[in-house]
C-alpha cells in the first residue's frame, strides 16, 4: 500500500487555469515537501513544511501556494497555469530532516 498518496496521477490543464495537487502521507512524519521534476531540470526543491508550518520556499513564483489543512496533508495550489509549469510534481515526507520518502507523483501537462 502506498504510504504517500498523491492525486491525481495525471492532470491536463489549459493555460491560465488553476489546479490543486493533493498529497496525504500515512508515515507519521512531521515534515512534508514538494519537489518538481521536468525534462529540463533535475529534481527541484519547492517547499518544505514542518508541523504544518512553512519552513522553506524556493519557488520564485507566488502562483504556487502550498496548503496544509492537516498534519499529514500538504496540497499544492497552482494558479494562472503556464505551459512551462508542465512537469511531474512529487510530494515527499520525512521525520525531521532524515530519510526522505516520495509519493508517486502527479504528472501535469499544461496546454
Partner 1 sequence: GDQVEQSPSALSLHEGTGSALRCNFTTTMRAVQWFQQNSRGSLINLFYLASGTKENGRLKSTFNSKESYSTLHIRDAQLEDSGTYFCAAPMSNYNVLYFGSGTKLTVEP
Q: Please say which residue, 58 or 62, places its beta carbon nearer to partner 1.
A: 58
Cβ closer to partner 1: 64 or 90? Answer: 90
Grid coordinates in use for 62?
Answer: 507566488
Q: Give me the half-sphere count of Cα atoms (radius 13 Å) on the Cβ side of residue 79.
A: 6
Min dist. Cβ of residue 28 to partner 1 (A): 16
How far is Cα 90 from Cα 44, in angstroms, rounded to an integer? 10
Residue 24 backbone dihedrals phi, psi, to 5 degrees = -130, 135
Q: Which is nearer to partner 1, 15 or 26 (CB)?
A: 26
Tell me how far, at minimum, the Cβ of 35 lies from partner 1, in Å. Answer: 8
Which residues in this chain contact partner 1 in the complex, by CB under 8 A?
A: 31, 33, 42-45, 48, 50, 55-56, 58, 88, 90, 97-102, 104-105, 107
Nearest to partner 1 of 37, 79 (CB atom) = 37
Q: How many CA atoms lie within 13 A of 101 on its CB side?
A: 18
| Minimum distance, C-beta of residue 80 to partner 1, in the bound complex (Å) | 26
**If residue 101 lies in a helix (H) or strand (E), which one and from where to where?**
strand 101-102
Amino acid at each position: 500500500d502506498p504510504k504517500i498518496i498523491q492525486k491525481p496521477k495525471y492532470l491536463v490543464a489549459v493555460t491560465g487555469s488553476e489546479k490543486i495537487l493533493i498529497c496525504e502521507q500515512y508515515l507519521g512524519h512531521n515534515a512534508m515537501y514538494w519537489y518538481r521534476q521536468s525534462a529540463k531540470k533535475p529534481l527541484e526543491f519547492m517547499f518544505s513544511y514542518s508541523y504544518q508550518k512553512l519552513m522553506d520556499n524556493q519557488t520564485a513564483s507566488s502562483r504556487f501556494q502550498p496548503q496544509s489543512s492537516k498534519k499529514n496533508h500538504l496540497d499544492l495550489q497552482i494558479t494562472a497555469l503556464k505551459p512551462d509549469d508542465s512537469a511531474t510534481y512529487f510530494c515527499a515526507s520525512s521525520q525531521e530532516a532524515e530519510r526522505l520518502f516520495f509519493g508517486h507523483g502527479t504528472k501535469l501537462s499544461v496546454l
